[in-house]
C-alpha cells in the first residue's frame, strides 16, 4: 500500500467512484480508490450487452425515482451527458445512439473502463484492489482497518453501489456504513427487473415464454411504450423493466396490447359491417399468433364479432387495452439491473453529496436513493454524483 494516509479514500472503484477520484485528484488531493475485487468496473463491463450504455442524451431529473425527486437536479445540472460524451470523444471511442437517446460503445464496454482508469492514473489517484474494508472509525479523521493495512483519511466516499447482481460482488456495505453513522436508509428494492406472474396467470400464460409484443405498460402514473417479453415465470422486456422502477409489492400493472388501435370503436365498426371472424382470428393480424390465440382463449368472447353485444365489446376492449396484472414479485437482485432506494437524500447535501451530520462522509452513485430509468440514466447519475463529490472531498 502506497501510504497510510490519504486526503480522500473512495470505497468502490465503479463508475461513480472513479469519476469522483478523477476530479478530486485533479484538485491536487491525495486519493485512494479501494475495491474488494481485483477487477475494476465489473458492472460497467456487463452493461449494455457488453457495449455499455454509458449515458442518455435526454437525461433529466424526470427520468429518476427518489423519495425527494428534486435532490438529483443539482448534480445532473453540473455534469451533463455532453460532458461525458466529451470524455468519450477525447479518448477516440466510437459510439452510436441505439434508440431513445441511449448511447453505446461501438466496440466494447472495456473502453469505458479503460477511459476512467486512464483518467484516474493521469490525475494521480491510487488504486488499491482486492482490499476488503473490515472496520471504519471516525475521530478527527476516518480510520479504516482493511484486509491489507490500516489507513486513514480526512474525506471518506462510499461508492459501493447497491445489492443488484451479487455474482459480480454487490454487497450491502454502503447501507451498513449508513447504519453505523445513524443515517436513514430508504428500503432497498430490486429494480429494472422482470415481474413474476401470480395465479391464475402463471397457470395459463407460462407457455408463452419467448413471445414478445409492442405494448404500453403503466404502473403508478408512469407509462412506457416498448416491448414486453413473456418468460416462464412472468414478464420481462424493456417496458416491464421500466415499469418495475415504479412498482411496489401489491401494485397492479396495466398493459395495452394494441397501443395504436381504439379497440372499442374498431370492433363496433366491424360488427356493423357484419364481421364473421372471431377476436381470436382478428388479433393474429396485430399480435404474435401464440399470444393472440392464448389471450383470446383465456380472456375474450368466442363468438364472431358480428354477434357481440356492446357490453362484450367494451369488456374485450378494456382487457386488450388495460390488461390488469398484479405481479407476485420479481426474480430479485440476481436479475435486477439496479437497486432502488438507498441512503435517504435528506441526509446529504445535494451540492456536495456530503452527509449533513457526519463531516467528511460522502455517498455517491447507486447506494444513494436516486435511481434512473433503463437506458443509460444510472450511469449518468454515477458520473454526475461522482463529479459533484469530487469537487469537495
pLDDT tens-digit readout, 297-349 = 999 999 999 999 999 999 999 999 999 999 999 999 999 999 999 999 999 99
pLDDT tens-digit readout, 261-289 = 999 999 999 999 999 999 999 999 999 99
Q: pTM of whole model > 0.75?
A: yes
Which DSSP state fits 144?
Answer: E
On the question of pLDDT at 2 being above 70, the answer is no
On the question of pLDDT at 241 being above 90, the answer is yes
> What pLDDT does residue 3 have?
56
Distance CA 82, CA 137 (A): 39
Q: Is 162 helix (H, G, I), strand (E, B) or coil?
A: coil
pLDDT tens-digit readout, 315-325 = 999 999 999 99
Distance CA 364, CA 350 (A): 10
Distance CA 239, CA 340 (A): 17
pLDDT tens-digit readout, 130-163 = 999 999 999 999 999 999 999 999 999 999 999 9
% residues pLDDT > 90 (the chain): 95
Distance from first CA to last CA of the chain, Å, rounded?
Answer: 21
On the question of pLDDT at 206 being above 90, the answer is no
Mean pLDDT within 198-209: 87
Q: Are 136 and 147 in contact (CB under 8 A)?
A: no
On the question of pLDDT at 249 being above 60, the answer is yes
On the question of pLDDT at 169 being above 90, the answer is no
Distance CA 375, CA 251 (A): 24
Domains of the chain with bracketed CATH: 5-190+338-390 (3.50.50.60), 195-325 (2.40.30.10)
Grid coordinates representing 97 are 445512439
Grid coordinates representing 156 are 471518506
Q: How many CB atoms lie within 10 A of CB 150?
A: 12
On the question of pLDDT at 1 being above 80, the answer is no
% residues pLDDT > 70 (the chain): 99
Amino acid at each position: 500500500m502506497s501510504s497510510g494516509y490519504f486526503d480522500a479514500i473512495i470505497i468502490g472503484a465503479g463508475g461513480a467512484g472513479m469519476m469522483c477520484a478523477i476530479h478530486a485528484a485533479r484538485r491536487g488531493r491525495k486519493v485512494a480508490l479501494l475495491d474488494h475485487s481485483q477487477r475494476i468496473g465489473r458492472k460497467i463491463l456487463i452493461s449494455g450487452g457488453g457495449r455499455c450504455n454509458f449515458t442518455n442524451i435526454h437525461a433529466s431529473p424526470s427520468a429518476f425515482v427518489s423519495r425527494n425527486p428534486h435532490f438529483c437536479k443539482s448534480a445532473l445540472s453540473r455534469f451533463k451527458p455532453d460532458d461525458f460524451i466529451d470524455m468519450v470523444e477525447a479518448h477516440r471511442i466510437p459510439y452510436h445512439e441505439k434508440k431513445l437517446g441511449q448511447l453505446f460503445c461501438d466496440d466494447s464496454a472495456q473502453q469505458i473502463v479503460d477511459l476512467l482508469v486512464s483518467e484516474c492514473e493521469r490525475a494521480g489517484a491510487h488504486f488499491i484492489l482486492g482490499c476488503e474494508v473490515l472496520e471504519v472509525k471516525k475521530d478527527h479523521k476516518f480510520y479504516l482497518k482493511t484486509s491489507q493495512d490500516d489507513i486513514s483519511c480526512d474525506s471518506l466516499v462510499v461508492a459501493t453501489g447497491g445489492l443488484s447482481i451479487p455474482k459480480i460482488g454487490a454487497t450491502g456495505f454502503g447501507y451498513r456504513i449508513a447504519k453505523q453513522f445513524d443515517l436513514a436508509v430508504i428500503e432497498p428494492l430490486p429494480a429494472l427487473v422482470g415481474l413474476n406472474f401470480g395465479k391464475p396467470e402463471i397457470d395459463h400464460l407460462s407457455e408463452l415464454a419467448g413471445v414478445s409484443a409492442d405494448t404500453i405498460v403503466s404502473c403508478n402514473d408512469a407509462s412506457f411504450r416498448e416491448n414486453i417479453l413473456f418468460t416462464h415465470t412472468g414478464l420481462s422486456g424493456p417496458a416491464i423493466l421500466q415499469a418495475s422502477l415504479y412498482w411496489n409489492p401489491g401494485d397492479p400493472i396495466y398493459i395495452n396490447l394494441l397501443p395504436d388501435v381504439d379497440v372499442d370503436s374498431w370492433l363496433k365498426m366491424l360488427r356493423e359491417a357484419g364481421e364473421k371472424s372471431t377476436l381470436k382470428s382478428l388479433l393474429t393480424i396485430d399480435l404474435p399468433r401464440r399470444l393472440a390465440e392464448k389471450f383470446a382463449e383465456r380472456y375474450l368472447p368466442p363468438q364472431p364479432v358480428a354477434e357481440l353485444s356492446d357490453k362484450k365489446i367494451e369488456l374485450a376492449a378494456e382487457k386488450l387495452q388495460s390488461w390488469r396484472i398484479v405481479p407476485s414479485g420479481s426474480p430479485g437482485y440476481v436479475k435486477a439491473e439496479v437497486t432502488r432506494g438507498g441512503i435517504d437524500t435528506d441526509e446529504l447535501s445535494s451540492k456536495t453529496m456530503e452527509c449533513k451530520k457526519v463531516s467528511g462522509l460522502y455517498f455517491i452513485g447507486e447506494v444513494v436513493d436516486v435511481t434512473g430509468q433503463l437506458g443509460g440514466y444510472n450511469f449518468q447519475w454515477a458520473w454526475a454524483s461522482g463529479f459533484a463529490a469530487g469537487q469537495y472531498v
